[in-house]
């Protein structure tokens, strides 16, 4: 199957012309974020940004006419809109984790991560077409500074240089990628991703693709196969199948989002399928649990809390130094002895820190129901510090500020 995606076989082959509905002659609505990236990361003169992007786009279109190129979607910066983005940045910056962008094309998402402070040494891009990556250096004018590595590879080729990253990737991004392939090929891609990911809890895949309630193969009016689209259920089903085949557990989250008329030029007549604007945003974590949240004395799973917890740093927790040191030591010791705790201690054992953004308090829970309150003196110190306390995340509300629970 080397090198073939459905698109190669159908639409793109017929669409290289600039009168294609997938080719927008001008870049009319560059987002503020993308403009910032070109002006501040690449140092391009504000008056030159649009013509610069248009010129590089034409060269990319000549390499291969994907709609994301013809319609300037490659400057859209979707990764940063994920609620997981703050935690991804912190994992790359603080924990020096490894990031791979699969089907990275010109490498736009990688540049955003680097502009936001992620060290580029631990970042990789891979694509079937290395010409796109080379052009990316011209687009972002960073050949001399970017330390991210590019690996040429057909994702279906078991002998490609991508194998270097087997079991080493902590976070993998796949933007507009899966839909290019048939269902069976998607299973193969998914298994390749499992092979690439570090085999530990918390390894993360995220991305997005064209989605639809009309699940399955999409054909154009002349019967050519174009894309294979999922909704949330079929996507979860695919990962269930991959889990059964690989023995790996995933927590899969996905959301079918209604978007703008996305894959066709404005004002262009098109086949009905391109009028279906849905996108499927997704993520999974290897063996991760959703965080539990305590509301009105009831535990419930909260999928939004997880990104908030993952994005939280110890430096965000404002406590008196002695109390903070002792909590940190409790928690790190707890996680260091995973095996022992798993075999000896009831599953409810854990450590929960909670409090409003401005008035922190701490409570530790051990065993079933034994709670330890906070020393009064410590709480008073916190009150004095409340002016400098800041909210940890947009997902935090009411009483839960910070939460760590180990099963
Ligand atoms: C539609 S583009 C998406 C680009 C980018 N990820 C984004 O979100 O804008 C798909 C990319 O996947 C690459 N690709 C297609 N088939 C591939 C394969 N078999 N192995 C690796 N990359 C492939 C293409 O060259 C192209 O750059």
Token pair 């997938």 is found at: 22
Beta-carbon neighbour count of residue 258 at 10 Å?
Answer: 9
What total of structural domains would you count in the chain? Answer: 2
- Contact 125 CB / ligand 1 (< 6 Å): no
- Tell me the two tokens of residue 106: 């010109």
Same domain, yes or no, for 271 and 123?
A: yes
Same domain, yes or no, for 68 and 177?
A: yes
Same domain, yes or no, for 317 and 169?
A: no
* Ligand 1 center from residue 332 Cα (angstroms): 40
Same domain, yes or no, for 257 and 322?
A: no
Give the single-character DSSP code of 100. E
Same domain, yes or no, for 181 and 324?
A: no
Range 143-157 average pLDDT:
97
The preferred substitution site among 9, 13, 128 for testing ligand 1, maximizing ligand atoms within 8 Å of CB, is 128
pLDDT of residue 170: 95
pLDDT of residue 379: 33
pLDDT-based confidence at residue 94 (cuts at 50, 70, 90): very high
Query: Would the pLDDT of 210 be above 80?
Result: yes
Same domain, yes or no, for 271 and 353?
A: no
Is residue 375 in a domain? yes
Is residue 306 in a domain? no
* 97-134 per-position pLDDT tens digit: 999 999 999 999 999 999 999 999 999 999 999 999 99
Query: Would the pLDDT of 310 be above 80?
Result: no
How far is Cα 238 from Cα 256, in angstroms, rounded to an integer? 15
pLDDT-based confidence at residue 67 (cuts at 50, 70, 90): confident
Token pair 């129901």 is found at: 369
Does residue 360 contact residue 401 with C-beta atoms inside 8 Å? yes
Range 161-181 average pLDDT:
95
Average of per-residue pLDDT values in the chain: 76
Q: What is the CATH number of the domain that holds 214?
A: 3.40.50.150
Going by C-alpha positions, the residue among 69, 32, 44, 30 that lies closest to residue 141 is 44
Is residue 229 in a domain? yes
Is residue 276 in a domain? yes
Where b means 16+ CB within 10 Å and e means fewer, 199-238 reads: eeeebbbbbbbbbbeebeebeeeeeeebbbbbbbebbbeb
Q: How far is CA 107 from the centre of its chain?
A: 14
How far is Cα 297 from Cα 357, in angstroms, rounded to an integer? 20
Is residue 297 in a domain? no
Range 266-289 average pLDDT:
65
Range 31-54 average pLDDT:
98
pLDDT-based confidence at residue 329 (cuts at 50, 70, 90): confident
* Ligand 1 center from residue 202 Cα (angstroms): 25
- Contact 190 CB / ligand 1 (< 6 Å): no
The sign one gets for the Cα dihedral 26, 28, 29, 33 is: positive
Same domain, yes or no, for 140 and 267?
A: yes
- Contact 5 CB / ligand 1 (< 6 Å): yes
How far is Cα 360 from Cα 388, in angstroms, rounded to an integer? 11
Same domain, yes or no, for 279 and 170?
A: yes
Going by C-alpha positions, the residue among 105, 199, 194 that lies closest to residue 150 is 105
Same domain, yes or no, for 279 and 351?
A: no
Is residue 74 in a domain? yes
Same domain, yes or no, for 346 and 281?
A: no
Same domain, yes or no, for 160 and 272?
A: yes
pLDDT of residue 258: 76
Is residue 83 in a domain? yes
Is residue 1 in a domain? no
Domain enclosing residue 135, as ranges: 6-286
Same domain, yes or no, for 200 and 111?
A: yes
Helix or strand run (H / E) with residue 322: helix 321-336
- Contact 60 CB / ligand 1 (< 6 Å): no
């Amino acid at each position: 199957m080397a090198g073939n995606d459905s698109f190669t076989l159908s639409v793109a082959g017929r669409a290289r012309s600039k009168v294609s509905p997938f080719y927008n002659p001008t870049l009319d609505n560059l987002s503020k974020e993308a403009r910032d990236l070109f002006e501040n990361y690449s140092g391009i003169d504000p008056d030159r940004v649009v013509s610069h992007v248009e010129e590089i786009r034409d060269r990319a279109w000549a390499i291969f006419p994907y709609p994301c190129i013809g319609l300037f979607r490659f400057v859209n910066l979707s990764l940063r809109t994920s609620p997981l983005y703050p935690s991804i940045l912190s994992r790359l910056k603080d924990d020096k984790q490894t990031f791979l962008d699969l089907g990275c094309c010109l490498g736009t998402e990688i540049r955003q991560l680097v502009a936001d402070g992620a060290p580029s040494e631990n970042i990789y891009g891979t694509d079937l077409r290395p010409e796109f990556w080379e052009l990316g250096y011209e687009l972002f004018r960073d050949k001399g500074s970017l330390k991210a590595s590019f690996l040429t590879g057909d994702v279906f080729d078991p002998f490609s240089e991508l194998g270097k990253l087997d079991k080493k990737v902590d976070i993998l991004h796949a933007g507009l990628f899966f839909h290019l392939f048939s269902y069976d090929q998607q299973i193969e891609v998914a298994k390749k991703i499992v092979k690439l990911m570090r085999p530990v809890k918390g390894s993360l895949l995220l991305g997005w693709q064209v989605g639809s309630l009309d699940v399955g193969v999409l054909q154009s009016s002349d019967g050519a196969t174009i894309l294979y689209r999922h909704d949330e259920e079929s996507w979860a089903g695919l990962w269930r199948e991959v889990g059964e085949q690989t023995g790996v557990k995933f927590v899969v989250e996905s959301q079918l989002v209604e978007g703008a008329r996305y894959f066709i030029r404005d004002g262009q007549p098109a086949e009905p399928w391109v009028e279906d604007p849905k996108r499927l945003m997704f993520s999974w974590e290897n063996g991760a649990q959703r965080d539990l949240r305590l509301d009105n004395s009831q535990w419930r799973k909260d999928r939004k809390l997880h990104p908030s917890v993952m994005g939280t740093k110890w430096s965000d927790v404002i406590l008196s130094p002695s109390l903070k040191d002792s909590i940190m030591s409790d928690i790190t010791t707890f996680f260091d002895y995973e095996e022992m705790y798993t075999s000896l201690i009831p599953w409810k054992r854990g450590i929960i820190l909670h409090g409003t953004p401005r008035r922190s308090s701490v409570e530790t829970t051990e065993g079933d129901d034994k709670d330890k309150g906070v020393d009064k003196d410590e709480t008073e110190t916190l009150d004095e510090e409340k002016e400098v306390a800041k909210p940890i995340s947009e997902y935090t509300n009411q009483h839960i500020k910070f939460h760590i629970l180990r099963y």
